[in-house]
A and B are shown apart, each in its own frame.
Chain A
């Protein structure tokens, strides 16, 4: 057990160092949520005046939306790294070392979780600076950050699976561009469910992004419905485990194909 922890730590450290040495990546990761916050914040400011929206400040409503959307758009490229490491022979180099096999998959999940947690905290702070209110206090924010991490685990594991299965970048790029906007807009990221057409509400209920948003928003409200938070957060956790298991299976298949 201690071996897994040690190996995962080293492999995560390796990836974090690589990210830290790409200042451009870090800057983009910070600037993009700012753009979303202030772009959507200005564009949709008046929608809260629509009857039935249910919130007084659109910024309050928007912060969880940007947190979850950013978690999705940052983590869904994880498979590109896996692909690059396979193509460069880095993966095979680690496989001939006495490295605990699961450390390779774990490191990807741990790194994504850390990056997304930091990103989510920064967005929450930016929102607060911009005047957003968080009536649910720390507990609500913790739930939001945890659900954003679960979203990252789901979609990075999915991306890793696609990467190992298809073995080409174009597939990941295609699937990501196809998924990002529909997943975001078929959820309550920017628009309250009460104002959606009926069919869209039905679709949104099946969208894991929406589970994260509903759980996060409910926990952040003045009167959280903890049972609902548990069900939706739990569903997301189960999905995260399932997709991770799928990526592990795909990793085994890769090892067999070498």
Chain B
């Protein structure tokens, strides 16, 4: 599915180079001196999936609240679907869909009633409303549960209902704030699949926030790493990982007696560095691991060193985060002071 998005995104970007979201220098301070956003800027081309990646408390949810007209920035500007969110909030609300971190579905109402109410407020009427409601409930696997009250829904069902409510108006821009937080792995991969399908089929722009590295890697064609209310770096997941200059290349040697031959052979291969051998395990770094591998194998064969197995590993987003923020992602996530900084005041 990643390839699906990757393949279709450039085509769409070329068709319409317009920006679906522009955030410029957003600042937002909550009472008690919590500076949630500290000059956040990023841009999302129309028709792409863009992730704001960062630990809890980085300011992702605050950014979504401002872009979806729920909160106002202290300073800075933001445009969604070409409209200024501060000047035209009512029009922006017609063009967006929002799946917030908290469900937002009325537990006393049925799934169908929740979707229909959102649709009515968005201006759908009569048969169009009924058709769209059924279509969405069906697509998110809620057709059988549509008449049941949301109170009886599981966490995964609620999340899917939230997505159905957010899509009822066929939005141009869909905001997903931590769409899979708290879901079990099975529901998560189902949600990923659905997000990927949405991006491919409906051509809508998706902004998702996540603190799961693999989620951003998996879903987003571009991402911005957010730390302490600012974007520290933007790019495609591969670009960001590529900037670390080097994939890890791991080789398993046939015997542990060829250490010196192997080191000498690899020293002559251009672009390969930091070679280490421990026992039969050889690891090295190369700018483009996949490209360097044939040369590495040839050099070793020339030196009479037999290779049993080879793997090339791309650096992870965790490595990228470490490089730009100076701390490991999981540390930042755990040290985040909740709840004051996690999503504004509760």
Taking Cβ atoms with an 8 Å cutoff, the residues of A that contact B are 7, 10, 14, 17-18, 21-22, 88-90, 92-99, 256-258
> Contact at B68–A10, with CB atoms within 8 Å?
no
Residues of A within 8 A of B209 (CB): none
Binds A, one of B93-101, B196-204, B221-229: B93-101
| B77 proximal to A (CB < 8 A) | no
- Knowing that A14-B117, A98-B121 touch, tell me 13 more A-B residue pairs with CB under 8 angstroms: A18-B106, A89-B102, A89-B103, A90-B104, A94-B121, A95-B70, A96-B93, A96-B98, A97-B121, A98-B93, A98-B94, A256-B72, A258-B65
| B69 proximal to A (CB < 8 A) | yes
Residues of B within 8 A of A21 (CB): 108, 149
> Contact at B106–A10, with CB atoms within 8 Å?
no
Tell me the chain B residues, 68-86 only, with Cβ under 8 Å from chain A: 68-72
B118 and chain A: residue at smallest CB distance: A97
Interface size on B (CB < 8 Å)?
33
Residues of A within 8 A of B102 (CB): 88-89, 92
| Option from A90, A97, A99, A258 in Cβ contact (under 8 Å) with B71 | A258
Main secondary structure of the interface of B (DSSP, over half): loop
Residues of A within 8 A of B149 (CB): 21
Distance in angstroms from B134 CB to nearest chain A CB is 19
Residues of B within 8 A of A92 (CB): 70, 100, 102, 104
Q: How far is the CA of A88 from the CA of B344 in the complex (A)?
A: 15
Q: Which 9 A-B pairs have the closest CB atoms?
A: A89-B102, A93-B104, A18-B108, A98-B93, A89-B104, A96-B98, A97-B121, A96-B68, A258-B71
Residues of B within 8 A of A89 (CB): 100-104
Distance in angstroms from B1 CB to nearest chain A CB is 28
Taking Cβ atoms with an 8 Å cutoff, the residues of B that contact A are 31, 65, 68-72, 90, 93-94, 96, 98, 100-109, 113, 117-118, 120-123, 149, 165, 344-345
Residues of A within 8 A of B98 (CB): 93, 96
| Option from B72, B104, B122, B165 in Cβ contact (under 8 Å) with A98 | B122
6 contacts between A and B (CB under 8 A): A18-B108, A18-B109, A93-B165, A94-B121, A95-B70, A96-B70
| Most central of B90, B106, B120 by chain A CB within 10 Å | B106
Q: How far is the CA of A96 from the CA of B118 in the complex (A)?
A: 10
> Contact at B90–A98, with CB atoms within 8 Å?
yes
Distance in angstroms from B151 CB to nearest chain A CB is 10
| Option from A94, A98, A258 in Cβ contact (under 8 Å) with B344 | A258
A167 and chain B: residue at smallest CB distance: B346
| Most central of A14, A18, A21, A92 by chain B CB within 10 Å | A92
Distance in angstroms from B284 CB to nearest chain A CB is 50
Q: How far is the CA of A18 from the CA of B113 in the complex (A)?
A: 11
> Contact at A258–B118, with CB atoms within 8 Å?
no
| Option from A14, A18, A93, A98 in Cβ contact (under 8 Å) with B100 | A93
Residues of A within 8 A of B109 (CB): 14, 17-18
Q: How far is the CA of A98 from the CA of B149 in the complex (A)?
A: 24
A257 and chain B: residue at smallest CB distance: B345
> Contact at B120–A88, with CB atoms within 8 Å?
no
Q: How far is the CA of A135 from the CA of B341 in the complex (A)?
A: 63
| Option from B94, B101, B107, B108 in Cβ contact (under 8 Å) with A17 | B108
